[in-house]
Amino acid sequence: MRIVKNTEELRSLVGEELGVSEWIEISQDRINKFAEATGDFQWIHIDVERAKNELPGATTIAHGFLTLSLLPQVIGEIYKLEGVKHSLNYGTDRVRFTAPVPAGSRVRGRYRLKSVDDVKNDGLKVVGETTIEIEGEERPACIAENIGIVYC
């Protein structure tokens, strides 16, 4: 994990890749729990037997939004800004799901800091681009521009 000492140091890192997270296993159990939490029971995610016969990889695939939901975990593993009192998820722009994530595979996040701007009440709007990679695959699973507001 990269420790960023203060907001000035954070600003100096704009344009740089801050790091890569640990690998995260995308098990069928995780996919099933995500389906239960979201109500998305499309068979390509949860029907293992049907997937063996009908899907190109012969396995179920993770929900795109499951992949996207990993952003807080992977960014939290990549860097920490010291002195943060609290932070807010401000949103996500330009989300692309560029490859399916097969059940049983592992993914990790790669984070590049795009911008840091002042906002009211002594906050900072931090924009980064997170790429979710699939182990052993050339094409990433997801690329998303994520926005957070931090208060120091």
Rounded average pLDDT over 83-92: 95
Rounded average pLDDT over 55-83: 96
Model pLDDT for residues 89-113, shown as the tens digit of each residue? 999 999 999 999 999 999 999 999 9
Q: In the structure, what pLDDT confidence band is assigned to residue 30 with cuts at 50, 70 and 90?
A: very high
Q: If you average pLDDT over every residue of the chain, what do you get?
A: 97
Q: In the structure, what pLDDT confidence band is assigned to residue 37 with cuts at 50, 70 and 90?
A: very high
Q: What percent of the chain has pLDDT over 70?
A: 100
Q: Which residue has the tokens 């695959």?
A: 137
The answer to whether 3 and 82 have CB atoms below 8 angstroms apart is yes
Token pair, residue 11, equals 């600003």
Model pLDDT for residues 1-22, shown as the tens digit of each residue? 999 999 999 999 999 999 999 9
CA distance from start to end of the chain: 19
The pLDDT assigned to 118 comes to 96
Q: What ranges do the domains of the chain cover?
A: 2-151
Q: Give φ, ψ of 91 to 5 degrees.
A: 145, -175
Would you tell me which CATH number, out of the four given (3.30.413.10, 3.10.129.10, 3.30.70.20, 1.10.10.60), belongs to the domain 2-151?
A: 3.10.129.10
Kindly give the pairing relationship between strand 2-4 and strand 79-81: parallel
> What is the DSSP code string of 107-123?
EEEEEEEEEEEEETTTE
Q: In the structure, what pLDDT confidence band is assigned to residue 131 with cuts at 50, 70 and 90?
A: very high
The answer to whether 130 and 71 have CB atoms below 8 angstroms apart is yes
Q: What amino acid is encoded at 6 in this protein?
A: N
